[in-house]
Structure 1
Amino acid sequence: MSLDSYTDAVAHVRQQFEEGLIRAGFKETQQGWIGLAGAPTNSTQVLISFPARFPFKPPRVTPVLPDAVPWSWHRELDGALCLIAEDDHDGLWWTAAPVFLEHVADWLSQATTGWPDDRPDLDLDRYFRPSEKDTRTYLYEEPALLGDGPFRFRPAKNNTMRAGKGALPKKRANLGNDRAAYVADVGEVDIPPRTWADISALVQPGNKLDARIRRHEVSVVLLRYRRDEQDGAILLEVWPTVSGEIAARRLKSAADTSAARTARAGVHRSELSNKSVAIIGLGALGSFIADMLARAGIGRLTFMDGDLVLPGNIVRHLVGPDAVGLSKGEAVKRYLVARNEITHEDIQVDDNDLTNPAKAARLISSHNLVVNATADFSTAALLHTVAESLDTHILSASLHDDGTAYRVDILPPIDGASSVPRLETAFNERTKAPMLFEAGCGSPISPTPPHAVVEAAAAAVRHSIGLLTERAVHPAGEARDLIRVPERKNN
């Protein structure tokens, strides 16, 4: 498709949409298309305009009379209707004018009834324009969110400002590079404020916040609010204007809290926080398994590996050049602790290989799951035999045929299921790469690519979480060919 063809296709979509508006009684003006939308007995005159990215962005709809539609969380700062959420952009369905107008009518109906089934989106940020001068990111932690009162932001690395304790001086000169801040709670917010005057009407009058701002004692306000028991916060830059009013602009901010760091960890986060996993083998595959399990919220980890990190390892390994010379278990531990995924006390490291059945039994008995990532048959067989004798299961993950396939085995399989069969991979259909050797290494260097390691690790973690939450993905595990695309079967 040439660029001309693309332009013609976009123009055609717009023409079709405009013809639909004409059929619905809309008239074209310099600002856009004006007409009536909604139920015939309760219609509203609206202006429909096209954003620059139409049809990849939906048309904008604004009431001709701003107050003809109730103000709510479903309107933009300029009064436009918030018609389509970001998670409802599949298929560009709004390009059909009748469908789009029906959606607008439904929006107007919901607005009339007060949005009874509204979801509590915490998007107060979009009702304030961003700061024109301050592009830094402001980070605040749990203490800054507790109670009303003053605090300060201090400069930190990476163009950030961090919340810190400290009394606010009476003179701005005594702040240095810090910024005087104040926490204010406005409680449940039914209609989003759009100006400082709106906020001031919601703030408790006893804290004299307006007076503090006018005296330049406060230049940043961390505003807490709630929607249907969901807690939100917005950071505003505030200052008195020549006219005596207080101006407010949004600062780029983010919560550096435990809740913010765990919200995206998955639906099993809380359940996994009480689980413990031992990983045998912290090479490339084991290191990424450890990382993903820590991100998922595993509460306690044990690492066992007798090898060291060497320069050649880091192409595929989780850790970088700064870990060369450390034991692999210690290197992964330091990496995870530095990322705040897990505390130092919750990771135990054993810099030895597993060769003893008694030690295997202790590991299996003291952990909810043991994962073997050594790619060593004897280690897998040892763990399998011990797990069977203890009437439990371990998980073994490995890459095969120069990274063209992987296996994840639950050993022994659950409820006597058959083991995962061996794959006949595409590796056997192509010329095998020549073997490479490295000084000090008794076996050929594996040419397994990094992406194959991550794919295998992700599969291993998926099955691990299934076992830990008693929702097994498969009773025996899985095997996958990473080169050949499976043939589709016709029904």
Structure 2
Amino acid sequence: MCLQEEHRSGRLDLADPLLGSAVEPASLAAFVAELEADGFHRVDTHVWRGPIRQVLIDSGYSTADEMTVIFRSPWPYLPPLLHVPGISAWHADHELLCIWEAEDNSQRWKTLQGTYDRIDEWVAHADEGFTGVETARNPEIYWHEPSSWLGLVDLEELIGNDRVDGQHGEFHFVDIESGDDESSVLVFDLRPGPFTPVRPRPSWVEKAQTVRGRWFYREGVEQPPRDVDEFAALLTENQNERLRKDLKQRPLLMYGVVWANVDGLVCTMLYSRPDGDGGRETWVGALRPKSSAALLLRAGSDATTLQRVKVAIIGAGAIGSHLAEFLARSGVGELRLFDPDRLWPANLIRHAAPPGTAPGTMKTVALKDHLVQYPWVQVDAVTEGSESYVWDPAAIREIAEQADLTVDATGHAGLAELAARVALECDRPYVTVALFRGGSVARVRRQAIATDTPILHRSRLGGYLAIPPLADELEFAGTEVGCLARVHNAPPVAVVRAAALASEVVIDHLCGRNEEPEEIVEVLRIGDEPFDRLGRLRPEDVPATVDLSETALQGAIEAADAARPLETGGILVGTEIDRRTTVSGVVEVVDPDAKPNRYHVAEGLVAEALALAKEADPRVGYLGEWHSHPDGSGPSTLDVATMLSIAAGSDCANPVLLLVHPPDHEPRVAAYVTTPAGLKPAVVEPCGDLPEVEAAAA
């Protein structure tokens, strides 16, 4: 039974090698059934042959009667190959029609019609010379033999900008190490200009005059050459004459033909040497880019902007080193690194410097040597001075004033605060990053734009989370010989994540977006509340704080105790100080119908109570409600609904609810802040009374 009959019968023979290797055997059987219905027949385990698509003949791309479909595993994630005998065209690799892009995941190839439609599209593009769609720059795949060496090249630099059809010129090349003993590959570095004896030459070449190369520039190349004859056919008569002389005079020669497509320069590069029998051996190479422009293609869309900026990083240790690398990879044009410390083998566990870095190397120098692979970034590894240098306010000011942004990555709270103070004084952008709680929490703070709260003030303002440390055995891994400080317990993954988070904030600011918040706290490993959810803490995750004066606290307790067993309550008055709600007083509003589990304020009485409070102290305003719960219970459903209604209908967006419990209950008072999601528990902080009105005026 053929697969077409099996498909029609609904029975699939998974013992068939083709179907047995498929992830979706049913869809593969359906496609094969379509093939067999269209005249294809099986010639091998994964191969079907049948009538060629007529458009390939009509357009002159093939004279064959048949084409071959070759299935690949795992179906349907890899499309089948299409072999068309005799086809000679761009995007036809060794008679295999290249109709699917490497990133194509459309799976249009799951039906025969989808495959036919793609062949028709290929023909249409080929008829137009692939104008406007040609982006392939790997012509070596069309050579009759696989490439056997790699070449690092900047083609624009190699042949220059003043290109004329028929032009040729010299270059030279050196070999470089690549890979290990088992998987090594021969790699050449192609460099512009003719060879001179003072230039380095491949280590396996003894005679300097043999290490030469020549490029030939052509326009209008429609498809890459597949052998040396087709290569020669692309050259002008003068270019061929030059090539013949080079091959005669130079035992070792690298030569290539260069042309342009819609995306840039393309080159088929050959390496040739005598074969020992009077002829020559020639191998095609696979060229790979090395120019800054080519490397920056993977740096992201911000790279162009970042090329013009300078970032100073204080602290080139664990987080700082990875931060520097992220910024360099992203396209930052200049980095200044400050750290008086040296690298030892233990540091390399979390440092960006590669394993094998010589012990005792300055951290900044090791990092600079590592970042040399990104040719667009200029790195200034500051080594002068001592540890006192980075603690000198004048030195920090100089660092900040010379950079577009300064980052503290030392992990030292004191130095982070000092640098923030200096950056604020000289009005320079500043970011600090650190890990907390054994590496389970990362925090990045920005102080760069007018709306950013100065970091110095945040510890006493509402809305900013304090991050308490863990017990020492969880915070630290232990001690080590030669080090006074304990070793922090942060794992390498946490270090890299903190550096990546800081990089996002830095790049966001340098590119002028400032879409990131001024302070980010990200939980990397779940712990106690509020660190009990992975990811960034939201504003609603930060515990609310209500400052409650002693006068207000005692007033509410005394009124509640006097009313027991009935409920009583009223309004909270006060003001906002440093973004923190400060309740300076309570006003009781008596409910004559109160019960042990019910309290209600009649309409109009709140306004009267507030007016009386403002008459006594014009500085205060309405902050919320309070009432007693003699049974010690929490907010009721009615309480939640009432507070949400108040928030929606008043100028107080986040009114406070204060519940007073009986004397034997802990806590005696409980505060809640109203949010769109309901009531959020708040921390009650005792505070003093507001200054007397006369003193405040004075």
- TM interval, shorter chain, is 0.7 to 0.9
SS in 2 for 1:480: strand
The one-letter amino acid paired with 2:187 is: T
The one-letter amino acid paired with 1:331 is: A
* Alpha-carbon distance in structure 2 between the residues aligned to 1:358 and 1:6: 73
Give 1:306 deviation, angstroms: 2.8
Other-structure match for 2:516: 474
The one-letter amino acid paired with 1:313 is: N
Runs of at least 5 residues in structure 1 that lack an aligned partner in the other structure: none
Give the conservation status (yes or no) of the 8 Å contact 2:322–2:351: yes
The one-letter amino acid paired with 2:439 is: G
Stretch deviating more after TM superposition (282-291 or 439-448): 439-448
Give 1:457 deviation, angstroms: 1.2
- How do 1:50-449 residues align onto structure 2 when only pairs under 5 Å count? 50-55=70-75, 56-63=77-84, 66=86, 71-76=88-93, 78-88=94-104, 90=105, 92-130=107-145, 135-140=148-153, 144-146=158-160, 148-158=168-178, 159-163=186-190, 165-166=194-195, 175=207, 179-207=211-239, 208-212=241-245, 215=248, 217=250, 219-228=253-262, 230-238=264-272, 249-319=283-353, 320-337=355-372, 340=375, 342-343=377-378, 346-349=380-383, 351=385, 352=387, 353-411=389-447, 415-416=451-452, 422=465, 432=474, 435-449=477-491
The one-letter amino acid paired with 2:114 is: V
Give 1:250 deviation, angstroms: 1.1
The one-letter amino acid paired with 1:470 is: G
Give the conservation status (yes or no) of the 8 Å contact 1:423–1:481: no
Give the conservation status (yes or no) of the 8 Å contact 2:446–2:452: no
Give 1:470 deviation, angstroms: 0.9
Give 1:206 deviation, angstroms: 1.5
Stretch deviating more after TM superposition (42-51 or 383-392): 42-51
Give the conservation status (yes or no) of the 8 Å contact 2:144–2:226: no
Counterpart pick for 1:20 among 34, 37, 45: 34
- How do 1:7-46 residues align onto structure 2 when only pairs under 5 Å count? 7=21, 9=23, 11-23=25-37, 25-30=38-43, 32-35=48-51, 37=53
User: Structure 1 residues 369 and 333, CA, compared in 2 at 3 Å: closer, same or farther?
Assistant: same
Other-structure match for 2:9: none
The one-letter amino acid paired with 2:67 is: L
Give 1:276 deviation, angstroms: 0.6
SS in 2 for 1:199: helix
SS in 1 for 2:232: helix
Higher RCO (C-alpha under 8 Å, 6+ residues apart)? 1
Give 1:262 deviation, angstroms: 3.7
What per-residue deviation string (whole Å, max 9, x for no partner) do you get for residues 147-174 of structure 1?
7234554444444344464379xxxx98
* Aligned length, in residue pairs: 469
* Alpha-carbon distance in structure 2 between the residues aligned to 1:26 and 1:127: 30
* Alpha-carbon distance in structure 1 between the residues aligned to 2:398 and 2:356: 34
* Alpha-carbon distance in structure 1 between the residues aligned to 2:244 and 2:477: 76
Identity of aligned residues (%): 21
The one-letter amino acid paired with 1:137 is: L
What per-residue deviation string (whole Å, max 9, x for no partner) do you get for residues 319-369 of structure 1?
24534223322332333347756446x444454453233333332222100
* Alpha-carbon distance in structure 1 between the residues aligned to 2:136 and 2:50: 30
* Alpha-carbon distance in structure 1 between the residues aligned to 2:486 and 2:259: 60
* Alpha-carbon distance in structure 2 between the residues aligned to 1:190 and 1:480: 54
- Aligned-residue Cα RMSD (Å) equals 4.1
Give the conservation status (yes or no) of the 8 Å contact 1:128–1:249: no
Give the conservation status (yes or no) of the 8 Å contact 2:144–2:227: no
The one-letter amino acid paired with 1:403 is: G
* Alpha-carbon distance in structure 1 between the residues aligned to 2:384 and 2:112: 65
User: Structure 1 residues 226 and 416, CA, compared in 2 at 3 Å: closer, same or farther?
Assistant: same
SS in 2 for 1:267: coil
Give 1:300 deviation, angstroms: 2.1
Runs of at least 5 residues in structure 2 that lack an aligned partner in the other structure: 1-13, 161-166, 179-185, 198-204, 527-532, 536-698
User: Structure 1 residues 301 and 194, CA, compared in 2 at 3 Å: closer, same or farther?
Assistant: same
Other-structure match for 2:506: 464
Give 1:394 deviation, angstroms: 1.0
* Alpha-carbon distance in structure 1 between the residues aligned to 2:477 and 2:359: 24
* Alpha-carbon distance in structure 1 between the residues aligned to 2:68 and 2:268: 31
Larger radius of gyration: 2
Give 1:315 deviation, angstroms: 1.0
Give 1:86 deviation, angstroms: 0.9
SS in 2 for 1:396: strand
Give the conservation status (yes or no) of the 8 Å contact 1:62–1:80: yes
SS in 2 for 1:455: helix
The one-letter amino acid paired with 1:87 is: E
* Alpha-carbon distance in structure 1 between the residues aligned to 2:280 and 2:27: 45
TM-score (norm 1): 0.80
User: Structure 1 residues 241 and 311, CA, compared in 2 at 3 Å: closer, same or farther?
Assistant: closer
* Alpha-carbon distance in structure 1 between the residues aligned to 2:383 and 2:177: 31
SS in 2 for 1:354: helix
Give 1:19 deviation, angstroms: 1.6
Other-structure match for 2:603: none
1:47 corresponds to 2:67: yes
SS in 2 for 1:87: coil
The one-letter amino acid paired with 2:136 is: D
What per-residue deviation string (whole Å, max 9, x for no partner) do you get for residues 238-276 of structure 1?
57999x999853124434444444443333333222211
